[in-house]
Structure 1
Amino acid sequence: MPAQWVRDSVTGTAPHLQPGRPLVGGQQADGVGYGYQWWLPAGDRGEFSAVGVYNQFVYVDPVSRTTIVKLSASRLYGTSTDEAISGEEETIAFLRAIARHGH
């Protein structure tokens, strides 16, 4: 796999990868961009995540050189956009706290 493709896939330089990008109808995307199968949280650390269908996560924070794998089997995941069901924002906040601990 070309190194440039890997860099492009996690940097969010393309408009469709930008967190908070305008959507159809003037709505804003949530605090993540998406592309190349990666979710890119808003921020300046270059973090990226893969998110599985049952709320599994692979979270990477290049600044702290941390990779975290979260295994899950949430049968309700994907049935609602409600944060109480998806837990994505809470999970990202938790994984960020772990990556930053001691750095």
Structure 2
Amino acid sequence: MKRILIAFAALTFAASGSVFAQDAVIIEVPQPARDYVIAHPSDPVVIEGDVAIGTVVPDTVELVPIPDSPDYAYVYVDKQPVIVTKKDRKVVYLAQ
């Protein structure tokens, strides 16, 4: 019985990991949009916590639109450009 429970727990853990992996979607931001954001820095803002791909930028942060890329906007956090999707404000690009 103990082996069955351990096997079940292992399978459950493995399945949850694969579900998580399927939820992670990588979006390739067009190079012209990245170039524009780097060439046109905005006033930096402070966002509490870590900013990573998939982080939702709070509604209190004003986003700057990217001309010729209507699906994206950006903001500078800690002097680094952060590009988000306009529809859900999720981070899709962080400059290194």
TM-score, reference length from structure 2: 0.32
Higher relative contact order (Cα pairs below 8 Å, separated by 6+ residues):
2
